[in-house]
């Protein structure tokens, strides 16, 4: 068992090193990886560990084995999944000098999903789920002085909204997106600069869900989430020295 754990850790570390090299462009898209002997020496791992790491990256859409010709490096933007965004942020391949660029992409995706999730929740959520959503927002209101707990609560609320849609595919996508957001640096700052406006938004949203007014809930969510996201990004960029903050909002 200890050997299995050690082997798994070696595979993970080798995959992380090779993934980082690919995402940084050390191995160009369309090129072939060096041979096993050379690459295993570069990474300081056994050939068996290297093969396991390559298999993992094939599953992630970064590599493809070409029979009799080696291993081809793929374009992550064509073959990768959303989980790649976290890795790309770590090696700086998405930011282009803007520290909030990746967060902007993730917020846009979250916004797209959230608007429909809110409408579906208004149509489908049970009374118990609505009660749980209200209770969650009430607890979150008391966490504004605790950045880590506030952000964790806000992300957990997103999962609750997704769960209230009773759509498993949407729930799983929301889980992935929440994990990506949770890994972003500066998230506490971005969320807390508009905590009061966000909580007022949640209160109004829950009123619409309680009335089962799905269409109004979708329209309201679109307008307010877009405004909240713009404000969040402006504040974050301002504090990081990239822009002038926008005024406090009052939805």
Q: Is pLDDT above 90 for 1?
A: no
- 122-142 mean pLDDT: 97
pLDDT at 123: 97
Q: Is pLDDT above 50 for 244?
A: no
pLDDT at 52: 95
- 197-223 mean pLDDT: 95
Ranges of H-type helices in 125-213: 127-141, 147-163, 168-182, 187-192, 195-210
Please identify which residue in the block is written with the tokens 């605790």: 146
Which of 111, 104, 85 has the alpha carbon at shortest distance from 179?
85
pLDDT at 85: 79
Q: Is 0.75 surpassed by the pTM of this model?
A: no
Q: Which domains does the chain have, with CATH numbers?
A: 2-79 (1.10.10.10), 84-239 (1.20.120.530)
């Amino acid at each position: 068992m200890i050997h299995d754990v050690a082997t798994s850790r070696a595979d993970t570390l080798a995959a992380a090193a090779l993934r980082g090299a690919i995402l940084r462009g050390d191995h160009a898209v369309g090129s072939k990886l060096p041979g096993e002997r050379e690459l295993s020496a570069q990474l300081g791992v056994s050939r068996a560990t290297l093969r396991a790491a390559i298999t993992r990256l094939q599953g992630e859409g970064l590599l493809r084995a070409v029979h009799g010709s080696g291993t081809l490096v793929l374009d992550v933007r064509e073959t990768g999944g959303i989980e790649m965004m976290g890795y790309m942020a770590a090696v700086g391949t998405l930011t282009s000098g803007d520290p909030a660029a990746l967060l902007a992409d993730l917020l846009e995706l979250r916004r797209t999903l959230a608007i429909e999730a809110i409408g579906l929740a208004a149509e489908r959520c049970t009374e118990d789920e609505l009660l749980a959503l209200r209770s969650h927002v009430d607890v979150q209101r008391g966490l504004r002085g605790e950045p880590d707990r506030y952000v964790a609560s806000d992300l957990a609320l997103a999962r609750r909204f997704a769960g209230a849609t009773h759509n498993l595919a949407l729930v799983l996508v929301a889980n992935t997106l929440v994990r990506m957001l949770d890994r972003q640096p500066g998230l506490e700052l971005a969320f807390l600069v508009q905590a009061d406006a966000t909580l007022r938004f949640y209160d109004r949203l829950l009123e619409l869900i309680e009335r089962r007014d799905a269409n109004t809930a979708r329209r309201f969510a679109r307008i307010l989430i877009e405004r909240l996201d713009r404000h969040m990004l402006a504040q974050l960029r301002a504090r990081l020295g990239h822009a002038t903050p926008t005024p406090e909002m009052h939805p």
